[in-house]
Structure 1
Amino acid sequence: MKPTETDGGERPSIVATATGEEETFSFEYDDDAVELTHRERARELFDELIYKPAIVASKDRRTVIGGLLFFGYLLMGTVGVLVYPAPTSNQVDRSIAPFTTVDAPLGSTAVGEDVLSMIIHATPEMLQMIFAGGIFATGIATLIGTVAGYKGGRIDRAITSFSDAAMSIPGLPLIMVLAVVFRPSNPLVIGVLLTINYWAGLGRSIRSQVLTLREEPYVEASRTMGVNTFRILRKDIIPNLMPFILVNFANAARYVVFTSVGLYYLGILPKSVENWGLQLDEAYKNAGALVADGNLYLLVFPMIAIMGIALSLILLAQGLDRVFNPRVRTRLAGKSESNADDAEEQRSTELIH
């Protein structure tokens, strides 16, 4: 049987049947079907990456409060430094009490520096240190912990020995020695320096998690199908570790905040970088905030800034645990979609009647 004429986009093929006869069939290329597939894929990505996480996050007070707090610090570190003047001597009247004038709403120091201006203009450097230290510590720990836990054998023993050696070095004395020797002035470098061996303990914890995850049926199935190690780690292992990684990112960021404040207060880190620890040091040494009447606010407001950013980080980490939990996200997002469908059906019924 000869192949028949076909329209454009249809390609005929000839296949022999069981009786020896030839049968013609064709493959058709449907542009609309391909467009629908791309559209569905884009919708799935939107649902998984934006819609469902947003639904889950909006239902958790911790995520909302922590996000608003941290967003406030981001605004201070970006917009605030542009619209609010930098602190200088004799900027306003000296030793103004807080909440008595709009020129210095949080008061001023003995040399006329606006306390609010000092807090705002120290925020960008603090944010840079937080992100640099948190990303460095959790990134190294995730890389080392996942590879060691998944590969096992000699690789696991070598990485574990290296981590144990790093953990055996006292962290704070090491940071103090490196800070005195190198005197870093870049906030990003300081953030990495503060977490120089923080990753070691976290890496061991992540390794323990991976040792459990690699025995899961879906990981075994991926290995059986010949999926390469990098893809298994990226698709099956690391997504299940994300809640744990996020919580420890917040902990690493809080460690950077408190360590940097302490070292600036002790005068170990250089004073070329603005920091709330420097304000505490100046308030204690020069303003006599602990002994002079009425100067306690010079200590209180920087401490509030420190506690606020630490609180925002831990609330975000606790709340995002639900966002990255597939079961919770699917359940809550499904309820939201069901409620939306019910509301739409009810509106349609009311219009009909």
Structure 2
Amino acid sequence: MAAPTAPAPTVAAAARPPGYYVRQRLLQNRPAMFGLAFIGLCTLLALLGYWVLPDNSSNANNGLVQLQKESPGFQVTILKLPLPAAARAAATDNPLRTWWQGRSRQFQEIPVGGRPTFTNDSAFFPPYQNHSALPDPPRRYSLRQLAGKDGSPAELQRFILEERVEQRTYWLGTDKAGRDELSRLLLGTRISLGIGLVAVLISLALGMLIGAVAGYVGGWVDSVLLGLMTVVWSIPGIMLVIAISLALNSKGVWVSFVAVGLTMWVDVARVVRGQMLSLRSATFVEAGRVLGLPQRRLIARHLLPNMIGPLIVLATSNFAAAILLEAGLSFLGLGVQPPAPSWGLMVNEGFQLLGTEAGLWLTLLPGLAISLLVLSFNLLGNGLRDAYDPKTPVANV
């Protein structure tokens, strides 16, 4: 009788790096994935910028005074009069310039009451009647003046209807200057995310440097740097931004970017210092010292990489805090200056109109945009915190 064969050895599951489990925990966290999706959408809008805006003028600042404070879904017929040839020639546009600064003005836009009627070589447009205007006679324009070229009356009429008359819809209405609210909200994502990104990069660079030196060197260096952190921590962020703006003697987008970033490094420095104090006596650090590795290499190549998880979580929370701080500063008139479409500035403009029909939605729309973006970063931060916690279970692995 043949001897029984030994059972085949089971194939051990392939070892997976810790990053795999972090990704799995994050993907299983639905609120965090919602936050990540919304942040991704806002980032895409910020990157595309003027290319996807209904109003792609600089700062989405094409205001028509006749269309002030119109409600969402408002429709109007726009007549586009050609600018003089010299003005059109001076407006040099290319896709890159349009993406960064918006498109140069090509036409003078006039709201009219509807489509024109044609008589011989003239076009008559009914006037646009706003909420308080009295009836006006139709406006007469020469066909050649409108078309900007010669041709038969039939050709010019067809060209005018196709190229010079536009039926425009303001999906989110207009603000007090007659500007498209949707375009300004979409362009505001560029300012909010830009402020958050620059603030996070500055706070990470400065906080990691100061926190690593304080935690690793220790002694009197740690005491001095910890005292500096405590002093900066005790000063309100708005006061620091005001002081930095006064020191730079300027107010604007880039000053706000830098000022907000310089107020948020203390959080990072405290976390890095605490982690450094716990890791500097680890076995691998002692081995590095025995091998004669310089302190800069020990910190940069062996200690800081072990703090990636906490720093990523802290960066997301700082991102949300920077957006809120910028919105508050712009609301007070201390941050981004008009006509830049900052959400905080838009909330202030709507707040001044509270009590009118347009005040509610002009305040609510940018306020809702701020809330959703900050909520998304908070949800993502909570998801990252759970994902980096090894005690969080991972399903279907």
Q: Same fold (TM over 0.5)?
A: yes
Question: Which of 349, 365, 384 is the matching residue for 1:301?
Answer: 365
Unpaired segments ≥5 residues, structure 2: 1-14, 76-167
Give the distance between the partners of 1:111 and 1:157, measured in 2 at CA.
54
Give the distance between the partners of 2:244 and 2:339, measured in 1 at CA.
17
SS at match of 1:195: helix
What is the deviation of 1:73? Answer: 0.7
Shifted more, 259-268 versus 100-109: the winner is 100-109
Which residues of 2 match residues 107-256 of structure 1 at below 5 A?
Answer: 107-180=173-246, 182-187=249-254, 189-256=255-322
Give the distance between the partners of 1:211 and 1:258, measured in 2 at CA.
32
What is the deviation of 1:217? Answer: 3.7
Partner of 1:64: 33
What is the deviation of 1:260? Answer: 1.4
Alignment-mate amino acid for residue 183 of structure 1: S
Alignment-mate amino acid for residue 250 of structure 1: T
Structure with higher helix content: 1
What is the deviation of 1:62? Answer: 3.5
SS at match of 2:169: coil
Partner of 1:274: 341
Give the distance between the partners of 2:219 and 2:371, measured in 1 at CA.
43
Q: Check conservation: 2:198, 2:257, Cα contact below 8 A.
A: yes
Q: Check conservation: 1:265, 1:280, Cα contact below 8 A.
A: yes
Give the distance between the partners of 1:244 and 1:53, measured in 2 at CA.
13
Give the distance between the partners of 2:366 and 2:46, measured in 1 at CA.
15
Q: Check conservation: 2:47, 2:190, Cα contact below 8 A.
A: yes
Q: Deviations over 1:296-335 (max 9, x none)?
A: 111111011111111121222222335555x479x859x6
Question: Which of 34, 49, 63 is the matching residue for 1:89?
Answer: 63
Partner of 1:342: none
Q: Deviations over 1:137-182 (max 9, x none)?
A: 1221122112211121233233223333433544322322332452
What is the deviation of 1:201? Answer: 4.6
Question: Which of 48, 69, 72 is the matching residue for 1:79?
Answer: 48
Partner of 2:153: none
What is the deviation of 1:99? Answer: 4.7
Alignment-mate amino acid for residue 136 of structure 1: I
Structure with higher strand content: 2
Change (3 A) 1:177 1:150: closer
Aligned identity (percent) is 24
Give the distance between the partners of 2:294 and 2:245, measured in 1 at CA.
42
Question: Which of 155, 169, 175 is the matching residue for 1:103?
Answer: 169
Alignment-mate amino acid for residue 155 of structure 1: V
Give the distance between the partners of 1:152 and 1:323, measured in 2 at CA.
31
Q: Check conservation: 2:238, 2:329, Cα contact below 8 A.
A: no
Give the distance between the partners of 1:169 and 1:78, measured in 2 at CA.
34
Q: Check conservation: 1:242, 1:324, Cα contact below 8 A.
A: no
Change (3 A) 1:279 1:49: farther
What is the deviation of 1:103? Answer: 1.6
Change (3 A) 1:231 1:49: farther
Shifted more, 253-262 versus 161-170: the winner is 161-170
Give the distance between the partners of 2:181 and 2:341, measured in 1 at CA.
13
Give the distance between the partners of 2:316 and 2:236, measured in 1 at CA.
22
User: How many residues matched?
Assistant: 285
Alignment-mate amino acid for residue 317 of structure 1: G
SS at match of 1:250: helix
Give the distance between the partners of 2:391 and 2:289, measured in 1 at CA.
27
Shifted more, 170-179 versus 88-97: the winner is 88-97
Partner of 1:318: 382
Change (3 A) 1:168 1:56: closer
Give the distance between the partners of 1:92 and 1:54, measured in 2 at CA.
53
Give the distance between the partners of 2:19 and 2:169, measured in 1 at CA.
42
Give the distance between the partners of 1:78 and 1:112, measured in 2 at CA.
25
Using the size of structure 1 for normalisation, the TM-score is 0.69
SS at match of 1:296: helix
Unpaired segments ≥5 residues, structure 1: 1-43, 337-353
SS at match of 1:96: coil
What is the deviation of 1:275? Answer: 0.5
Give the distance between the partners of 2:362 and 2:384, measured in 1 at CA.
34
Q: Check conservation: 2:245, 2:251, Cα contact below 8 A.
A: yes
Q: Check conservation: 1:257, 1:310, Cα contact below 8 A.
A: yes
- Root-mean-square deviation (Å): 3.2
Alignment-mate amino acid for residue 47 of structure 2: T
